């Protein structure tokens, strides 16, 4: 989960936990893929409840607005999507689906859990995800809060998610999405596409760096990155502390090639993401330097 419904009525932002994992005016809950490479997996988008399909769009390209610009999706911000009416004045809308994946049509009656399409990158988005908006009588409802109120911060007394979904949708932030080795400056776009990781290099590589992508970052979260040599010595260490909320944070750190080149063998990178009160997230990566 990357973004939540914005519950702040003013120009600020506030998610259901009283955090800032949203943006001003955001009307849904976003579930993201870890990288662009997962678009090929056709990750299914399923109907949250039984109802009748009242709107469908398909055919828009899976491309980031960072490439095409916001004007390219004007009045089609949802991208490829499906809108469903449910009994009792409820509606759900599913946006940013993959081109060619929508398998329902307007007028179809659908069951809970029925496949609607696949997660995509269409419409007003810069990363692959599905955006789900829930409305009751035309008013947006945060599915984590429901209609019956509750504590000021945290889930409502009666969330809309069923028990199985609530167990699966535990707040796992911060999330260590991905990490890998590079041999120089790493482009964020390559990391997002799943093509940045290097597993082998020569002794003349310009640098050894470890890159990471993390999501759901809040002030005080800590990211420790280390590189060890083939004989187990620490080659490089870095510790970074977040000073603001970030939906997704990308960074790379490392060391330039020494004068005599890199000794051959397997180098190990370790990334540890920490937040007080939560178990650390860790990723270990490696690269082999040829002799």
| pLDDT per residue of the chain (291 residues) written in tens, 0 to 9 | 889 999 999 999 999 999 889 999 999 999 999 889 899 999 999 999 999 999 999 999 999 998 999 999 999 999 999 999 999 999 999 999 999 999 999 999 999 999 999 999 999 999 999 999 999 999 999 999 999 989 999 999 999 999 888 888 877 789 999 999 999 999 999 998 889 999 999 999 999 999 999 999 999 999 999 999 999 999 999 999 999 999 899 999 999 999 999 999 999 999 999 999 999 999 999 999 998
Kind of pairing between the strands at 278-289 and 200-201: parallel
What are the DSSP calls for the chain, one per residue? Answer: --B-----SSSS---TTSS--S-TT--SEEEE-SSGGGGGG--EEE-SS-EEEEEEE-------HHHH-GGGGTT-TT-EEEEEEETTTEEEEEEEEPTT-----TT-EE-TT-EEEEBB--SS-SS-EEEEEEEETTEE--TTTBSS---SSSS-SB-SS-HHHHHHT----SEEEEEEEESS---HHHHHHT-----EE-TT-SEEEEEEEEEEE-TT-EEEEEEE-TTS-EEEEEEEE--S-EEEEEEEEEEEPPTT-PPSEEEEEEEEEEETTEEEEEEEEEEEE--
Position 291 scores a pLDDT of 80
> Rounded to two decimals, what is the model's pTM?
0.86
The predicted structure's pLDDT at residue 46: 97
pLDDT of residue 240: 98
- At residue 172, the pLDDT reads 77
Residues 6+ apart with CB under 8 A from 17: 4, 153, 154, 171
pLDDT for the residue numbered 173: 84
| Residue 119: per-residue pLDDT | 98
């Amino acid at each position: 989960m990357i973004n939540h419904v914005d519950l702040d009525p003013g120009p600020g932002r506030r998610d259901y936990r009283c955090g800032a994992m949203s943006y001003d005016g955001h009307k849904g809950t976003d579930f993201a893929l870890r990288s662009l490479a997962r678009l090929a997996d056709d990750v299914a988008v399923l109907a949250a409840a039984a109802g009748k399909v009242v709107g469908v769009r398909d055919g828009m390209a899976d491309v980031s607005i960072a490439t095409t610009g916001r004007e390219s999706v004007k009045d089609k911000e949802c991208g490829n999507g499906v809108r469903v009416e449910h009994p009792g004045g409820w509606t759900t809308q599913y946006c940013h689906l993959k081109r060619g994946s929508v398998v329902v049509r307007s007028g179809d009656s659908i069951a809970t859990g029925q496949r609607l399409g696949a997660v995509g990158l269409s419409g007003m988005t810069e990363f692959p995800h599905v955006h789900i908006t829930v409305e009751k009588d035309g008013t947006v409802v945060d599915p984590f809060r429901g209609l019956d109120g509750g504590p000021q911060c945290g889930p409502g007394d009666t969330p809309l998610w069923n028990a199985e979904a609530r167990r699966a949708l535990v707040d796992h932030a911060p999330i260590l999405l991905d990490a890998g080795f590079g041999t120089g400056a790493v482009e964020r776009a390559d990391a997002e596409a799943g093509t940045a990781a290097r597993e082998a290099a020569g002794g003349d590589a310009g640098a050894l760096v470890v890159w990471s992508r993390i999501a759901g970052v809040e002030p005080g979260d800590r990211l420790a990155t280390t590189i060890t040599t083939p004989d187990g010595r620490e080659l490089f260490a870095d510790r970074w502390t977040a000073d603001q909320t970030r939906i997704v944070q990308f960074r790379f750190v490392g060391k330039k090639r020494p004068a005599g080149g890199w000794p051959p063998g397997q180098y190990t990178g370790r990334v540890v993401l920490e937040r007080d009160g939560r178990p650390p997230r860790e990723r270990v990566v490696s690269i082999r330097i040829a002799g």
